[in-house]
Chain A
């Protein structure tokens, strides 16, 4: 029940600590590396021991943070803490995360979207793009937790569902 609360407190403490040590950017990079290593370790991607090799390479702030987490027996909440830290970091810096998935590379659309986001007040956008041919056409844009699904695949899915609902008597 309190997992969110716990993670939030640790994340905020880490942020303040990073500020005090004047090492916000290093901590941010370390958190990203640690998060990636954790995910790969948990996913058993065949890259065994990645976490063990990652930790010694981290800066002293995050190492100290990990020690405190372990000492308090809150290692279970570590993924949530890292996630919360990144949310707080982005909020502080005014960074919006956005992703664009499209069926084919759309460089002109990317540029347009970036300009659009800039106009909307998102000064700094952490923009990732990926290609998914199963969309058939169109794109899926996600800014924070808002999603704009303008892909052909999902429109076809919607059409199929609507027709099925209307004609369920016959099917």
Chain B
């Protein structure tokens, strides 16, 4: 460890592992350490014993839940957009060969007290019970406009400049009612709040296209895919990439302390009395608590169940979005469910998550409307964690700190943060122009 590195990465969360991989592939000399004796940091997946240790102290899990090692319970539950940026990064780095995926069965939205399948195309819009007869036709024309929209072909723009026209104005043109706007904005365009209505419509149109194209890619019931054995596989796969390109890995390194010189620039990291020198440090917020600020908190419930989420056509993996307005909240609530079909639980068991950006300090009451949709549970755990963002100036101290994982249901914001950090660190842009239209998947 007593050596000089180009970059020392602290924490093996997904963001840090992707960066470690990209930097090692670039030929930089990387040392990657974690205070824990497992990979993944906040974005790890826990087995039953680890889960109990974290939430139940000295209690032991009940025998009827099955074997501990059959469980891989995500600590940051998210799904991957089939055509999203994480898939592009996986293909770009060839990390896909270490992983197996399965499509997620269903994508649902909560509307007026009921769960409905999210319509992704004009044809599905026509069939959806979410809208009345006339509204369906209006929604259908809007879906067709979005499907046909091509940024580079003004003929498809319908005479509107979507970099200037707001989403609200675009929607008004199609005469959609608030109810329709609610599920389009939150369950298809996946906005977290209603600010998008006042912003240029291009972003929303692009998000709707990403959703529809992702659904079409695997002909599944959702735009999402999810790795077998849980999300904890992702950081491990990128860590392997980094190691293959020469990155050095040290887990179980307590008290990693970042050292600075007189000018306040990083000069190394000390752990267990040894100092490794480096030019730059990349880390999650927990390693440099003095250079981050709290920006919010996430409330979360984790349930072990013996049945799928009711009213989701027995989906063994599913996402349900509860738009803020439907609950009288400021931020959306999300339900996820995964099961033995993705190898995250023993046969017959399901893992469900309810999560939201917390607006109170009482996750149990705050998450109730989501938990009520789960039906009976075998076990349930509640958690609340703070979200941090860096406040330092990386050009002054050479510290590159990732933001905490947000409550969103997919990895788009995660990867955006990673790609921005990569550019800050190297001055380069990751070329993600992999040919997704021809990219495909092979059944094993």
Chains A and B belong together in one complex: no
A interface with B by C-beta (< 8 Å): none
Give the A-binding residues of B (Cβ under 8 A): none
